[in-house]
């Protein structure tokens, strides 16, 4: 137990550093015309060797930190799991599905094609939306303020990534992406969900 109680804060600190550095570099990408971390320009670029280790350490280490620091000692521990586990399963399940919907190469920053169908008909970034849901589930299940802080950093990074991508996508795909931006929300809009279709006359 002593090893776990010591290891948890160490893992959490490593995750926090990775996510904070990643967020700073994302902001630099968004605000600078000469600096770009993401999307990475190639597999052998310094951006690729910087982004992916930070991303995998932060996003992959967060569930490990949650497992080590989870607090299920309260009387409502069962409610934490009832709320958190479905969000984890649905969120990361949709993320996994969207991974293949977009295509492996495009997911890793390639520009093979502009995908606008499937889940990408409802959101320009369904992987990010679903991942945010999954990490919120981890925070709810863990019941730890430290983990909630890490979840907030993860949500920040996922919120910044589309802003870093959009100028690159507009340059690559031109008017096609401009039209896509007009028709599809960056994250999510209830009006785009398939089970919400208000008749035109009811909206007038």
What digits encode the pLDDT tens for the residues 15-32?
A: 999 999 999 999 999 999
pTM for this model (two decimals): 0.88
C-alpha distances in Å from residue 4, one per residue of 7, 10, 16, 31, 167: 5, 10, 18, 40, 44
Burial 113-150 (b: 16+ CB within 10 A, else e): eebeeebbebbbbbbbbbbbbbbbbbbbbbbbebbeeb
Q: Which fold has domain 2-203?
A: 1.20.120
Question: 130-169 pLDDT, tens per residue?
Answer: 999 999 999 999 999 999 999 999 999 999 999 999 999 9
Rounded to whole angstroms, the Cα distance separating 13 from 65 reads: 9
Cis peptide before 39 (omega within 30 of 0): yes
């Amino acid at each position: 137990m002593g090893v776990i109680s010591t290891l948890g804060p160490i893992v959490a600190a490593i995750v926090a550093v990775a996510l904070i550095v990643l967020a700073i570099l994302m902001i630099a990408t968004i605000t600078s015309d000469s600096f770009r971390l993401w999307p990475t320009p190639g597999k052998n670029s310094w951006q690729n060797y910087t982004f992916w280790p930070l991303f995998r350490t932060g996003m992959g280490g967060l569930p490990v930190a949650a497992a080590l620091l989870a607090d299920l000692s309260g009387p409502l521990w069962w409610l934490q799991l009832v709320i958190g586990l479905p969000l984890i399963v649905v969120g990361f399940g949709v993320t996994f599905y969207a991974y293949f919907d977009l295509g492996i190469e495009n997911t890793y920053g390639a520009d093979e094609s502009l995908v606008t169908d499937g889940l990408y008909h409802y959101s320009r970034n369904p992987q990010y939306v679903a991942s945010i849901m999954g990490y919120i589930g981890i925070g709810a299940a863990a019941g730890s303020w430290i983990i909630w802080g890490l979840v907030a950093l993860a949500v920040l990074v996922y919120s910044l990534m589309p802003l870093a991508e959009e100028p690159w996508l507009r340059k690559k795909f031109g008017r096609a992406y401009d039209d896509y931006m007009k028709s599809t929300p960056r994250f999510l809009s209830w009006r785009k969900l398939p089970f919400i279709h208000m008749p035109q006359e009811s909206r007038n």
